């Protein structure tokens, strides 16, 4: 009579799940060692702290609550993975991509990022305190209430990310771009900025006096009613920015560019604006009282009803500007050029120095258009 042999495991029944998880972890590393894509794994709650994950692709795998603390993650691709509640504290991540991953409430404290891409990831309430990010990109990620306190960004980009209530307290941004972000409720106390780009960002009504924005690119930024009083905007670019009703009193902004910016009703009193460019800007109702505006450019600007009282306007250019009903009382001129400017109703009481009026020969030359006016010899 034949005998039936049953294979009986020596491990206790309770060790079953542990053995399965261990087998999955071993399978993960086996796949990585052979450069095979690993997919559909369930590695929740696993301890991978200090592990090295390199040169592999992981697809649709769950790492919920797992620990990657102190791990070395190099040249990895994670796609459609779930890292909810996982810890990457102190991890070193380089040359890796996280795409369409769920990573809410993850911990990345003191982690190091080098040429990392996080695309379309959910990182709401993640904690990046003290993390250092270099040459890395976060694109279309959800970062609501994420914490980057004391984090450092060097040559990084945050593009079209949801940044509602993001915490950037005492963070450092250098050569970094934040594009199309709503920063109205962001925590920005002590944020240090050097050569940053904040294009299409909404900072309406924010108190930004604690920031240094020298050489910042704020093109198309919305800064209506923002408080920038005394802020360093040296060499900043505010092309087509909206600063309606903003407080820029006492700003230090030599060589700043406000081309086509909207500064209606803005307060720029006592501001340092030498060599600043306001070409084609809308300045109606703005206040430049006591401002230093030597060699500044207001060509073709809408400067109606603007107050320039006691302003220093040495060599300033108002070519083709509209200064209707503006007040230049007590202003200082030195070859200040009003060539072809509209000055009806403007007040020039008590001003000092010299001003240049319209040069008629030049005005005629500026009107000449060879497409319209034919040379005399061609008329015959």
Give the per-residue pLDDT at 8: 29
Residue with tokens 């940044």: 163
> How big is the CA angle at 18 (ends 90 and 26), to the nearest 5 degrees?
65
- Choose between 11 and 304: higher pLDDT: 304
Distance CA 251, CA 228 (A): 7
Give the per-residue pLDDT at 360: 84
pLDDT cut 70: percent of the chain above it:
91
Phi, psi of 332 (to 5 degrees): -105, 120
pLDDT in tens, 261-310: 999 999 999 999 999 999 999 999 999 999 999 999 999 999 999 999 99
Comparing CA positions, the residue from 158, 225, 165, 168 lying closest to residue 191 is: 168
Q: Identify the weakest region by mean pLDDT among 9-18, 287-296, 306-315, 346-355.
A: 9-18
- Choose between 148 and 363: higher pLDDT: 148
Phi, psi of 255 (to 5 degrees): 65, 15
Mean residue pLDDT across the chain: 92
Distance CA 347, CA 19 (A): 87
Distance CA 235, CA 216 (A): 7
Surface-to-core class of residue 98, CB atoms within 10 Å of its CB (0-12 exposed, 13-18 middle, 19+ buried): buried
The predicted model gives 232-255 an average pLDDT of 97
User: Residue 375 pLDDT more than 70?
Assistant: no
- Choose between 16 and 50: higher pLDDT: 50
Residues 6+ apart with CB under 8 A from 80: 59, 60, 99, 100, 101
Residue with tokens 């309770």: 14
Phi, psi of 172 (to 5 degrees): -125, 125
CATH number for the domain formed by residue range(s) 203-380:
2.160.20.80
Q: Strand pairing of 117-119 and 137-139?
A: parallel
User: Predicted confidence band at 62 (pLDDT cuts at 50, 70, 90)?
Assistant: very high
Comparing CA positions, the residue from 122, 62, 130, 123 lying closest to residue 91 is: 130
- Please state the domain extents for the chain: 203-380
Sign, CA dihedral 206-200-188-195, equals negative
User: Residue 342 pLDDT more than 80?
Assistant: yes
Distance CA 260, CA 380 (A): 44
Give the per-residue pLDDT at 373: 59
Other residues' Cβ atoms within 10 Å of the Cβ of residue 25: 17
Give the per-residue pLDDT at 12: 44
User: Residue 208 pLDDT more than 80?
Assistant: yes
Distance CA 359, CA 88 (A): 68
164-189 burial, b for 16+ CB within 10 Å, e for fewer? bbbbbbbbbbeebbbbbbbbbebbbe
With beta carbons less than 8 A apart as the criterion, state whether 268 and 251 touch: yes
Q: Identify the weakest region by mean pLDDT among 9-13, 26-30, 116-120, 311-315.
A: 9-13
With beta carbons less than 8 A apart as the criterion, state whether 211 and 190 touch: no
pTM for the structure as a whole: 0.84
Comparing CA positions, the residue from 145, 151, 225 lying closest to residue 187 is: 145
With beta carbons less than 8 A apart as the criterion, state whether 246 and 266 touch: yes
């Amino acid at each position: 009579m034949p005998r039936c042999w049953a294979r009986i495991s020596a491990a206790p029944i309770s060790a079953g799940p542990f053995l399965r998880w261990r087998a999955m972890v071993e399978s993960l590393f086996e796949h990585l060692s052979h450069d095979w894509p690993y997919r559909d794994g369930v590695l929740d709650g696993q301890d991978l702290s200090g592990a090295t994950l390199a040169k592999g692709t992981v697809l649709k795998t769950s790492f919920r609550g797992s620990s990657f603390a102190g791990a070395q993650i190099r040249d990895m691709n994670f796609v459609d993975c779930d890292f909810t509640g996982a810890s990457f504290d102190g991890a070193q991540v380089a040359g890796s991509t996280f795409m369409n991953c769920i990573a809410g409430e993850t911990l990345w404290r003191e982690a190091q990022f080098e040429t990392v891409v996080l695309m379309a990831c959910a990182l709401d309430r993640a904690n990046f305190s003290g993390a250092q990010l270099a040459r890395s990109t976060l694109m279309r990620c959800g970062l609501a209430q994420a914490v980057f306190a004391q984090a450092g960004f060097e040559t990084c980009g945050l593009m079209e990310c949801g940044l509602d209530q993001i915490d950037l307290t005492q963070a450092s941004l250098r050569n970094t771009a934040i594009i199309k972000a709503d920063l109205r409720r962001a925590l920005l106390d002590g944020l240090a900025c050097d050569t940053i780009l904040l294009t299409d960002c909404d900072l309406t009504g924010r108190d930004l006096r604690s920031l240094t924005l020298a050489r910042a690119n704020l093109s198309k930024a919305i800064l209506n009613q923002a408080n920038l009083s005394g802020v360093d905007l040296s060499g900043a670019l505010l092309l087509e920015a909206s600063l309606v009703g903003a407080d820029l009193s006492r700003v230090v902004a030599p060589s700043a560019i406000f081309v086509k910016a909207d500064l209606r009703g803005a307060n720029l009193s006592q501001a340092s604006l030498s060599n600043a460019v306001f070409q084609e800007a809308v300045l109606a109702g703005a206040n430049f009282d006591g401002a230093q505006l030597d060699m500044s450019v207001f060509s073709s600007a809408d400067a109606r009803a603007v107050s320039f009282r006691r302003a220093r306007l040495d060599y300033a250019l108002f070519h083709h500007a509209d200064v209707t009903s503006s007040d230049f009382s007590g202003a200082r001129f030195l070859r200040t050029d009003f060539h072809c400017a509209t000055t009806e109703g403007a007040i020039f009481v008590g001003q000092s120095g010299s001003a240049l009026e319209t040069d008629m020969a030049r005005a005629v030359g500026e009107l000449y258009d060879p497409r319209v006016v034919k040379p005399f010899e061609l008329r015959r």
